[in-house]
Chain A
Amino acid sequence: MKSLVAEFYKGIFKENPILVLALGLCPTLAVSTSLQNALGMGLSATFVLICSNILISMFKRFIPSRVRIPSYIVIIATFVTIVELVMEAYLPSLYKQLGIFVPLIVVNCIILGRAEAFASKNGVFASFLDGLGMGIGFTFTLSIIGLIREVLGAGKIWGYPVSLDFVPVLVFALPPGALLVLGLMLAIKQAGDKR
């Protein structure tokens, strides 16, 4: 039981997918322009990650190891298609904002990485907890980056202006700002780990 709790817990901080494993950096840098986008991306990826982890751990005995990566991709793509269609139907504005990065969840390194490194070797429930923990870790980190960039780069939180006379520092809304914020967060995490 204790190890199952640890499987859930590790993804949030100790093996945080962005800050420690450094996976999934492409969507992290690209869609973290606002808190809304970050949360939408994080939750979509979390849903796909949990579902694909469960299914892959269930099928792990039937998938021949030589074609396992294509099989994982097919499973992941199924769930990504579900997310894509649901989002297009119920959250069209978010769907438009995220654009190409919704279908690109298929090749998100976190999801493929967890499938290969964890779900293909562990039980269904442990894989579910692993996916949940990793998803929360990803969503949480992405949201912090999104929040920082939205406040500094656009002067808004969740689309509402922070203050009327705040002058936004545009660079944080641009790609260099994403690299800067991510780099500083990695540095802070490293400094914290060294203590």
Chain B
Amino acid sequence: MFVMSSSPHIRDRETIPTIMWWVFISLLPAAGVAVWVFGIRALYLMLSCVGAAVATEFIIQYLTKRKITALDGSAAVTGLLLAFNVSAGLPLWMAILGSVFAIAVGKQVFGGIGRNIFNPALVGRAFLMASFPAAMTRFFINQNGALVSQATPLNILKEGSAAPLVGYKTLFIGNYPGCIGETSVLALLIGAMILLWRGYISLRIPLSYIVTVALMTWVFGGSNGLFSGDWLFHILSGGLMLGAWFMATDMVTSPITRKGQIAFGIGCGLITSIIRLWGGYPEGVSYSILMMNALVPYLDNIFKPRKLGERR
């Protein structure tokens, strides 16, 4: 009548492949917009990054004689996210090299899925930024099928030049120069809706992240003293939406405690705003998430829930 077994007793049909492929699907709207905005080159970039990531995962797992899980979708998600983080004009071999580095050094060195400290796609991006700074920071816009070099809105803001900033509507739709997957807030929000509906992410990290950036840029970002910053421009531009919804929420590299997640989001927001407003780079989303990734074990430790009956 009673079956005795060891825990866990509650099981779910959810597996790593279903979660990862759903995340992949949720990125597809932004991928579609990327091809529409930047042309066929964006598609080539995404295909080569995904292909290189999956192939690297397969080769390393084969060589180290571990179980081969290259098709569980996690490598594909890493590859696609890395492609989202590069400019449309990046040579394909550089993108492939970044993808190989992301999987090999960002993930497999630590022991594979679930064991990496840092978000692999952002490790790949940081590697590319340090290795090929010129190619990584030249952004393009598609004009009648040809890629034309143009500064991003955040670059224009940073240099304080007189060039007109793009409007909120353009920022929302995504038809402006930037990394290929970060420009369309609309498409990214559709993807985020899918993740929320599937229950893979909660609102805690993205909202605390975005609200912190909005507050910081509203208070300190303006040229007419405090409380005059254009916060809407700041949260709609750059990689904030991509980072907040898809990369800061990575299950492996974000805190598991609820308070920890909120602290993680606030930390990301603070570092992003500091880099954007006072730092040397126009954009700070990727570095802020990487820095906070390093603090995740401490955040979880600080906000460890009390056991029932345990003293304060």
Contacts and interface: CB of A to CB of B under 8 A. Distances in A.
B207 interface: no
A167 B130 contact: no
A174 interface: yes
Nearest to A191: B64
Nearest to B134: A170
B105 A171 contact: no
Interface residues on A, range: under 10
Nearest to A183: B109
B87 to A, nearest CB: 16
Contacts, number: 15
A167 B133 CA distance: 12
Nearest to B97: A169
Interface of B: 97, 105, 127, 130-133
Interface of A: 167, 169-172, 174, 176, 180
Contacts of A171: 127, 130-131
A171 B124 CA distance: 12
A170 B133 contact: yes
A170 B133 CA distance: 8
A169 B131 contact: yes
Contacts of B127: 171
A174 B132 CA distance: 12
A170 B131 contact: yes
A176 B131 CA distance: 10
A180 B132 contact: no
B130 A176 contact: yes
Contacts of B133: 170
Given A169-B132, A170-B130, A170-B131, 5 more contacts: A167-B132, A169-B131, A170-B132, A172-B131, A180-B105
B249 to A, nearest CB: 26
Nearest to A187: B109
A174 B105 contact: no
B43 to A, nearest CB: 24
Nearest to A170: B131
B260 to A, nearest CB: 28
Contacts of A167: 132
Q: Which 6 A-B pairs have the closest CB atoms?
A: A171-B130, A171-B131, A169-B131, A170-B131, A174-B130, A171-B127
Contacts of B105: 180
A105 B97 CA distance: 37
A170 B127 CA distance: 9
Nearest to B91: A167
12 contacts: A167-B132, A169-B97, A169-B131, A169-B132, A170-B130, A170-B131, A170-B132, A170-B133, A171-B127, A171-B131, A174-B130, A176-B130
